[in-house]
A = this chain, B = another copy of it.
């Protein structure tokens, strides 16, 4: 049996790569990195890859627009699984050093923001330099004895850096929810979720009537997010997750009834309900 080819959002040394490595550990797949979310999804569509791993939402930062837009607009790609990955920020440097020897601290602006309590307490007076990615921050440390970077442990491994501290983020419960996309969704397992996107008319009660279809069947909605359509001014996309597999939900007449209340409905896929994962190690 040939090994599964899985595309993920590069570069290496990011939380996306850490999540991809966790998936690899379980499925013995071969990983390929791509430069954009669009490229990951497109390679699944064309068959160049079997699956693609992309971030869908971060607990603190919110939904990842590019992923949501591409899934909503793609005909032949579905959510096949999900993976909740804990965002554990590390402090790293080229040489083993004391914190008071650090003059400059580099990272992605989000990562600097997520560690602001630690920086205030342990690195007062240090110059913070935002760069394009945590991977770029780690790479720029080579040969610099007055610099440190914040990023995933994987970045330190790749660049042979010292880990000065682990878990320095202000909020210990920050996670990124990744989805694994494929050309078909997952078979029913008994503990499933379904993701969908729909549009409604701009009239009072439209969304209420849609939610009523779920409420009357006691189907729990686990997420709802409205997002402006990129195509039509004033048109909104509603992204929702509900409990249950789309095939089981179909038997209750749900999709037929929802279909009557909306102007557009697309099932993004059904997949096993994920749990927060242990860190890859």
Contacts and interface: CB of A to CB of B under 8 A. Distances in A.
Contact of A204 (B207, B220, B228): B220
A190 interface: no
Interface size class of A (residues with CB under 8 A): 35 or more
Interface stretch (A58-66, A90-98, A154-162, A257-265): A58-66
A191 interface: no
Interface in A217-235: 218-221, 223-228, 230, 233
Q: Which of A61, A63, A171, A205 has the most CB of B within 10 A?
A: A205
A103 B62 CA distance: 35
Interface string A175-218: 00000000000000000000000000011110111011011001
Given A214-B208, A220-B203, A173 B62 contact: no
Contacts of A124: none
A109 interface: yes
Contacts of A173: 233
Contact of A224 (B130, B218, B224): B224
A131 interface: yes
Contact of A218 (B130, B205, B209, B214): B205
B204 A214 contact: yes
A221 B207 contact: yes
Interface string A44-65: 0000000000000001111101
Interface in A225-257: 225-228, 230, 233, 236, 238
Given A204-B219, A220-B202, A230 B171 contact: yes
Q: Which of A61, A171, A218 has the most CB of B within 10 A?
A: A61
A245 B68 CA distance: 32
Interface string A116-151: 000000000000001110000000000000000000
A62 B219 CA distance: 27
Q: Ordered nearest first, which 7 A-B pairs have the shortest CB separation?
A: A205-B215, A208-B215, A208-B211, A204-B220, A204-B218, A130-B132, A62-B65
